Amino acid sequence: MGKENNPRRVAENEAFAKTKMLRTSPQKLNLVAQLIRGKKVDRALADLTFSHKRIAGDVKKCLQSAIANAENNHGLDVDNLIVAEAWVGKNLVMKRGRPRARGRYGKIMKPFSEITIKVRQVEEQA
């Protein structure tokens, strides 16, 4: 009398991971996401490790989570995984401010964003 399993949201040869509330703008996060799209996961991890962008460490953690999901939850081979998709979304924006000259008020927007990384197992080309 248990609950039925939810249908998979991705194909049988795919897995994904999502990280929310990353403290950077979606525009900056998308630059790092472009860096890894379509690459093999070991190459993508190396690129993120040596990237000078501050947010690259959090993106690397999300990619490692997607790889672990693929291996442990779906039984995919880690050596044949590629980053199929990596997309970025907006999250909340904290509004802060600072008093300025002549009675004015300067807005300071502190945006948050989220990233979803989907990995796919591809067949070895001989």
All domains of the chain in start order, with CATH: 14-121 (3.90.470.10)
Nearest to 48 by CA among 118, 40, 13, 16: 40
CA pair distance 70, 34, nearest whole angstrom? 21
Give me the helices (H) in the chain, please: 26-36, 41-49, 56-68
Could you list the pLDDT tens digit for every one of the 126 residues in the chain?
688 888 888 999 999 999 999 999 999 999 999 999 999 999 999 999 999 999 999 999 999 999 999 999 999 999 999 999 999 999 999 999 999 999 999 999 999 999 999 999 998 765
Say what the pLDDT of residue 126 is. Answer: 52
Provide the whole-model pTM.
0.91
**Cα–Cα–Cα angle for 109, 110, 112, rounded to 5 degrees:** 130
Strand partners, 41: none
Q: Residue 30 — left, alpha, or beta (φ > 0 → left; ψ -120 to 50 → alpha)?
A: alpha
